[in-house]
Amino acid sequence: MSAPCWSAGTDNDILGNSHIHQINDGGNNIIDYTFMLCFDKETESKFKKIFEFIAESGVSRYMIETETPPHISITCFSTDNIELILNRLNEQLSSFKTGNIVWPSLGMFVPHTLFAAPVLNEYLLNACININRLIEPYSTVGENGFYLPYNWIPHTTLAHKLKDGELQKAIDIALKHFSFIAGKSIRLKLVAYKSIPYEEIGSWDLI
């Protein structure tokens, strides 16, 4: 599946502080997407510093090279009509609020991914439930259902696509620089999933 491309544009409807790009799927009807929560500047900066420490060590530059912002993905899905989902989001944006998030620990998806593990609080669970409920009539489930409510491990990736032996090195580096992080989600983003570099379709400020 080729990565989608689009021309820049803005949507001035009821979303308020939103930015949406017109999608050209390059001839493919079905595209993979994810909705993600992004964080306040201070929290984002703390995670980006860890990205940099890991990259400077030579272990993995994935998060830097793909220009992926620190985030928590709350659903992954495929659809051939993203416009229907955007219309539903227009109607239900008020269901998605800014919220407090804390990351007290590290976790891993062995052997390729290291992440900061947030507490699955009511805010995160509701965000996951609401977005999956919104997209369900117009999409098919992605990532084998691992981003569905009660089957989802919320995470903020620190290092990805790790090769043999690199996971332990990434853990060692993160342990030197990671400590308890408390922050807020301030933005909901829609991105083309698995696209390299990171490609953003839409962005909505949360209140």
Ranges of the chain whose pLDDT falls below 50: 1-16, 20-27
- The pLDDT of residue 200 is 93
- The pLDDT of residue 127 is 98
Which one-letter amino acid corresponds to residue 46? Answer: K
Domains of the chain: 5-205 (3.90.1140.10)
pLDDT one-digit tens code per residue, 6-16: 222 333 332 33
- The pLDDT of residue 19 is 53
- The pLDDT of residue 118 is 98
- The pLDDT of residue 123 is 98
Specify whether the CB–CB gap between 180 and 102 falls below 8 A: yes
Integer Cα distance of 203 and 17 in angstroms:
8
Angle of CA points 51, 57, 61, to nearest 5°: 45
pTM (two decimals): 0.87
Integer Cα distance of 22 and 207 in angstroms:
25
Specify whether the CB–CB gap between 32 and 42 falls below 8 A: no
